[in-house]
Every structure is written in C-alpha cells, then in structure tokens.
Structure 1
Amino acid sequence: MSDTDVIKLYSQRILALAANMPKTDRLPAPSATAKRRSPLCGSTVTVDVAMKDGVIADYGQDVKACALGQAAAAVVGAHIVGLDRESVQHGRDQLYRMLKEDGPVPSAPFSDLEVLQPAKDYKNRHASIMLAFDATLDALSAIQDAS
C-alpha cells in the first residue's frame, strides 16, 4: 500500500467519525450483548442492545478496531436506535454489497457509510468494517431466540 493509498483510505472524514463515536457506554441492563472479532486483524466490537416494542430502544458499544472499523461503528451507533431487525439487516447487506460487489452506497439512515467506499479495494479491512453490524445482528438474534 503506497502512502497515497493510506492517506486516501484514512481520510479526515473517516478519522473524524472514529474520533467522535457515539454510544460508547455499555448498557447496564441490555436485552442482549454480542461480541464479534475479526480473525484477520484482531479487531473486536461488543454491543449491548435494549429492545422495546420490536425496535432498538438503546444501544451501547465497545469498539477496539482500526479507524475503518471505528468509523463504521460510529455510523451504526449514530443511527441504530429506533430501528427494527429488518432495517439493521438491510443496512448490513447494503454495506456488504458496497464493499464486496461494488454495489451502491447504503441508503439512509446508513448513507454516511459512503465514506468507506475506498476500503472496497482493501479486502483485509472488510471484516473489521462489518463488525458493528454483525455483532448487532447477533444480539438481535439472541433476543429473538429467547422470546
């Protein structure tokens, strides 16, 4: 990876998202907690989800990832409260297609993930970028399985 590629990949916007991540406090009594780890780079994301009436009522996350994983978690954390499982799955699927299949930018409320488009060329970073969504979906599955 050249210096230009690194600068492009870790743009100011990505670094700003990573530095200002919302929802970083763990929840005292979540409906479910899930942790995901990227085996390639060792990044981890742990999420707490509180559900009420079929939507996410509160969310907390502990993110230990590269700036790309942090930026993705920041966007997820900023927009996840108030969504149902289907909306979260849709956002995750759109991000996956953007990274892996050269698909379009995710739609609202996750349209800020467009900042990660340059990462599609760096397959070794994809797992870290997906962690926040994948951990959240694991927590939502645990809630669904328990009911």
Structure 2
Amino acid sequence: MSGENDLIKLYSGQILQLAAMIPHTDRLVEPDASVKKRAPLCGSTVTVDLKIQDGRITEFGQDVKACALGQASASVVGANVIGRSRAEIDAARAALKTMLKEDGPTPPAPFDGLEVLRPAREYKNRHASILLALDATFEAFEQAEQAHCA
C-alpha cells in the first residue's frame, strides 16, 4: 500500500469509531502499578494504571495520547482487559506483534477486535503506537505482581 488514498483507507470508519470510544480513561487513584510507554517515532504515549487480585486485572485506567491507530488499539484493550491474567495479556501482545510484523493470525479472544488494525501491517512506523496499550498493560501487570510478592 502506498499513497494518500491508501493511508485514508487505513483510517477506516471502524478504526475511527474505536478511537472515539476509548473506555477506562480515568486514571486510578491508588493503582498497584502505573506504566507510561512512548512510541519513539511518532511520540504517541499510553499510560496504564491497574490493580490486580488473584492473578487477574480488577481495575484499569488509561491515559491515551496517540494517533487514531493507537487509540483504536487502546479502545479494544480497555474494553476487554478487566478479568484477564498476565498470560492472556502476553498472548494478545505476542499475537498482535506477529499479526503486524508477519501477517500472522488475529489475537485470541477477547482481543480479536484488534483484527481491525491488520491493514496497518504495511506501515511499520505505526506498529509501536498500536502496541503501546498492551505493552504498558503487560509491564504494569509485572510490576503489580512484584509489588504483591514484596
């Protein structure tokens, strides 16, 4: 894909709709962990706060300052992250990377809504922004588990 028309197609109505409806945009007052990730090429940032209990996310908040693709990704993650384990977050993260870099399979449910971002595989400079929400969530989960074990 190349050219202005292809870029316009990338920002489909579904991606723009997801970007406009990001859930859990309130930061948590006392999170177990908080992580801010930044995509170096475009400057997009996502900050994730979470609480965990019994190996699952019980509360989640995010502050998303990203392009529409990063916002759409954060929307799908935010809508599905409560109740998930670290292994589920890691599996979704790995699958999203593979989908973008190698045209691999869609991330497993409940993160299969990330399929809408498959056209972005042709735009490598957008991958980091798309991965921010899951990367920050995974890192925050690890930090929260360490804090609970300390």
Answer whether TM exceeds 0.5 for this pair: yes
Q: CA deviation at 1:59?
A: 0.3
Q: Deviations over 1:59-90 (max 9, x none)?
A: 00000000000000000000000001000000
Structure-2 separation of matches of 1:8 and 1:129: 17
Cα deviation, 1:32-70, whole Å, max 9, x if unaligned, reads 100000111100000000111110001000000000000
- Deviating 4+ runs (over 6 angstroms): none
* Structure 1 partner of 2:22: 21
Q: CA deviation at 1:4?
A: 1.5
Q: SS in structure 2 opposite 1:142?
A: helix
> Is residue 62 from structure 1 mapped to residue 63 from structure 2 by the alignment?
yes
**Deviation of the 1:145 alpha carbon:** 2.2
State the shift of 1:114 in Å. Answer: 0.6
Indicate if the aligned counterparts of 2:19 and 2:72 stay in contact, CA closer than 8 A. yes
Q: Partner letter of residue 113 of structure 1?
A: L
TM-score by length of 2: 0.95
Letter in 2 for 1:15: L
Indicate the RMSD between aligned Cα atoms, in angstroms.
0.8
Q: Answer whether contact 2:51 2:144 (CA < 8 A) is retained.
A: no
Letter in 1 for 2:59: D
Q: Quick one: which amino acid aligns to residue 99 of structure 1?
A: L
- 1:83 is aligned to 84
Q: Which runs of 5+ in 2 are unaligned?
A: none
Q: Which runs of 5+ in 1 are unaligned?
A: none
SS in 1 for 2:43: coil
Structure 1 residue 143 displacement after superposition:
1.5
* 1:144 Cα offset (Å): 2.2
Q: How does 1:1-147 map to 2 (within 5 A)?
A: 1-146=2-147, 147=149
**Alpha-carbon separation, structure 1, partners of 2:91 and 2:108:** 9
Q: How many residues align?
A: 147
Post-superposition shift, 1:2? 1.8
Q: TM-score, normalised by structure 1?
A: 0.97
For residue 29 of structure 1, report the CA deviation from its aligned partner: 1.1
